[in-house]
């Protein structure tokens, strides 16, 4: 079974985000939580996911030393809950995007978690990027999520289908087949950014002569 995008729920300026519309019991949820600290100490902020719901930290990402930080969590399966409340300290502003995906491995949905970021300011208009990776099976779905300091609307790389925009945040995806995927990047009019890259493992193993299932690659970035 191929991994497939279902929907995304978002919230700005709060710590409670709704369950994505149409999320099914067997879906995997991926939550990207971004922090802005105007005092320039975002790395000192703490994030605690909802207790008792099975959320697992993929990575804290590479926290920007100036004002932003990014953490990505996932959970396998959804229950009767209608929303998810995170706890955060040391933040002036927060934003959350939770996406639902079907067809993921229910035991080990996340195979890879990597991070990248601009920790020293940099130059406005430079590329925000994620490193290349290898897809082992056909029918992959690459998902790109990015937030910027002041760029509004769709900021997905070329070829991606935009799925959601809110304020300075957007997300998109693209189908990928087995092979090497090069560095993914987009030029933004901002000098600060942070990225987390993770791979969702598909359901099944493609053994016994069965068709190879899907790999999904996601990249989450947010910059304030």
3-state secondary structure the chain: CCCEEEEEEEEECCCEEECCCCCCCCCEEEEEEEEECCCCCHHHCEEECCCCCCCEEEECCCCCCCCEEEEEEEEECCCCCCEEECEEECCCEEEEEEEEEECECCCCCEEEEEEEECCCCCCCCCEEEECCEEECCCCEEEEEEEECCCCCCCCCCCCCEEEEEECCEEEEEEEECCEEECCEEEECCCCCCEEEEEEECECCCCCCCCCCCCCEEEEEECCC
For 16-47, write each residue's pLDDT tens digit. Answer: 999 999 999 999 999 988 877 766 666 677 88
Chain segment 65-98, per-residue pLDDT in tens? 567 677 889 999 998 999 999 998 877 778 889 9
pLDDT score recorded for residue 207: 33
> Per-residue pLDDT averaged across 39-61, rounded?
79
Q: What percent of the chain is modeled with pLDDT above 70?
A: 72
The rounded percent of the chain whose pLDDT value lies above 90 is: 20
pLDDT at 15: 92
What are the tokens at 189?
């009019």
Task: Please report the pLDDT score of residue 210 as a whole number.
Answer: 32
Residue 39: the pLDDT is 64
The 10s digit of each residue's pLDDT in 148-205 is 666 677 888 888 888 878 766 777 787 777 778 788 888 876 667 777 777 787 876 5
* Structural domain span for residue 169: 4-221
Residue 128, pLDDT > 60, answer: yes
Count of domains forming the chain: 1
């Amino acid at each position: 079974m191929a991994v497939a995008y279902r929907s995304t729920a978002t919230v700005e300026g709060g710590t409670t985000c709704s369950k994505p519309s149409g999320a099914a019991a067997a879906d995997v949820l991926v939550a990207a939580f971004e922090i802005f600290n105007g005092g320039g100490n975002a790395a000192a902020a703490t994030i605690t996911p909802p207790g008792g719901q099975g959320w697992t930290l993929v990575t804290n990402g590479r926290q920007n030393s100036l004002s932003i930080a990014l953490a990505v969590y996932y959970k396998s399966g959804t229950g009767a809950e209608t929303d998810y409340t995170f706890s955060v300290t040391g933040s002036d502003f927060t934003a959350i995007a939770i996406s639902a995906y079907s067809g993921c491995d229910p035991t080990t949905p996340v195979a890879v978690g990597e991070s990248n970021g601009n920790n020293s300011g940099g130059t406005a208009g430079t590329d925000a990027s994620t490193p290349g990776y290898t897809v082992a099976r056909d029918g992959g779905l690459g998902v790109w999520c990015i937030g910027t300091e002041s760029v509004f609307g769709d900021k997905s790389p070329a070829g991606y289908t935009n799925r959601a925009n809110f304020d300075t945040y957007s997300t998109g995806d693209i189908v990928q087949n087995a092979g090497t995927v090069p560095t993914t990047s987009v030029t933004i009019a901002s000098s600060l950014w942070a990225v987390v890259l993770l791979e969702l493992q598909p359901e099944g193993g493609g053994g016994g002569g069965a068709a190879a299932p899907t790999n999904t690659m996601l990249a989450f970035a947010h910059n304030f």
